Amino acid sequence: MYGPNTNLVANGSIIYFSECAAQYILSAIKLLLEQRANALDCRPDVHDTYNASVDEANARMVWGAATVNTWYRNAHGRIAQNWPFTLLEFWQRTRALDIDDYEVL
């Protein structure tokens, strides 16, 4: 669950992030069981829009400034570790699964 763009730089708790992610995963599993489905596949447009918003927000942070040399950047220059938004926004994004974001397989 501790994956891309879930690292906290200045405040908060990684345990809180894990709890939010666990709740989101459980809601996905519940949906799969209720619909007798095999998998959920994130729609590419949802994935790309989400990553663009994260990248845009990270670019506004001190660690995202183009002139800053930091270990936060991967080999392609993307800040792939840090969550650039508030803890409240992470909770809001993970508190309920939006089935419209996925293809149910």
Give the tokens for residue 92: 């809001």
Q: How confident is the model at residue 26, as a pLDDT? A: 97
Q: Which domain holds residue 88?
A: 14-104
What is the tally of structural domains in the chain?
Answer: 1
Q: Please name the residue that has the structure tokens 């419209």.
A: 100
Residue 52 lies inside a defined structural domain of this protein: yes
Q: What is the pLDDT along the chain (105 residues), one digit of tens a residue?
A: 888 999 888 778 889 999 999 999 999 999 999 999 999 999 999 999 999 999 999 999 988 887 777 888 888 889 988 999 999 999 999 999 999 999 999
Residue 37 lies inside a defined structural domain of this protein: yes
Q: Are strands 102-104 and 40-42 parallel, antiparallel or unpaired?
A: antiparallel
Residue 3 lies inside a defined structural domain of this protein: no
Q: State the sign of the Cα–Cα–Cα–Cα dihedral 99, 85, 50, 70.
A: negative
Query: Rounded to the nearest 10 degrees, what angle do helices 87-94 and 14-35 cross at?
Result: 10
Q: How confident is the model at residue 32, as a pLDDT? A: 97
Indicate the pTM of the whole model: 0.88
Q: How far apart are CA 96 and CA 90, in angstroms?
A: 11
Q: How confident is the model at residue 19, as a pLDDT? A: 95
Residue 63 lies inside a defined structural domain of this protein: yes
